[in-house]
Amino acid sequence: MPEKKTKTMEEKVLKKYEAIFILDVRKVEDEGEAFTKEFATLIGELGGKMEESVAMGRHQFACEIEKRKAGIYWNYIFQVKPEKIDVIRDKFHLDEKVVRNMIINYDRPAVVKNVQLE
């Protein structure tokens, strides 16, 4: 009879996440390219994989956030161990370049059905 393998802390599977970062227009000079490299390096150091980074451009806020009227939006999709998410949040929580950030589980369906509205 084959032995059952139990997952130890080192064998945990990487989980897929999506992160949205809004960067301060006044603190970022290159539209966030350097920040993206810094973020990808951190994910690599934590044993994860960066899958996608999408620049979403500059957008005006509906209302001011900390006296800022606009921000540069970036969307990242990456894989990392679940316990490392707090490390990422802590690193960018006090970063002056980041106005807001949000990290959520990435659970989009592989195929989206075409629904017709009548």
55-69, 84-98, 99-113 — which is least confidently predicted?
A: 99-113
Which CATH number is correct for 13-105, 3.30.70.60, 3.30.200.20, 3.40.50.300, 1.10.620.20? Answer: 3.30.70.60
Q: What is the overall mean pLDDT for the chain?
A: 86
Within a 10 A sphere around the Cβ of 53, how many other Cβ atoms?
A: 19
pLDDT at 102: 94
pLDDT tens-place string over residues 34-79: 999 999 999 999 999 999 999 999 999 999 988 899 999 999 999 9
Quote the DSSP letter at residue 54: E
- pTM of the complete model: 0.77
CA 72 to each of CA 25, 36, 60, 87: distance values in angstroms, whole numbers, following the listed order: 6, 12, 9, 23
Percent of the chain topping pLDDT 70? 81
Is 117's pLDDT higher than 80?
A: no
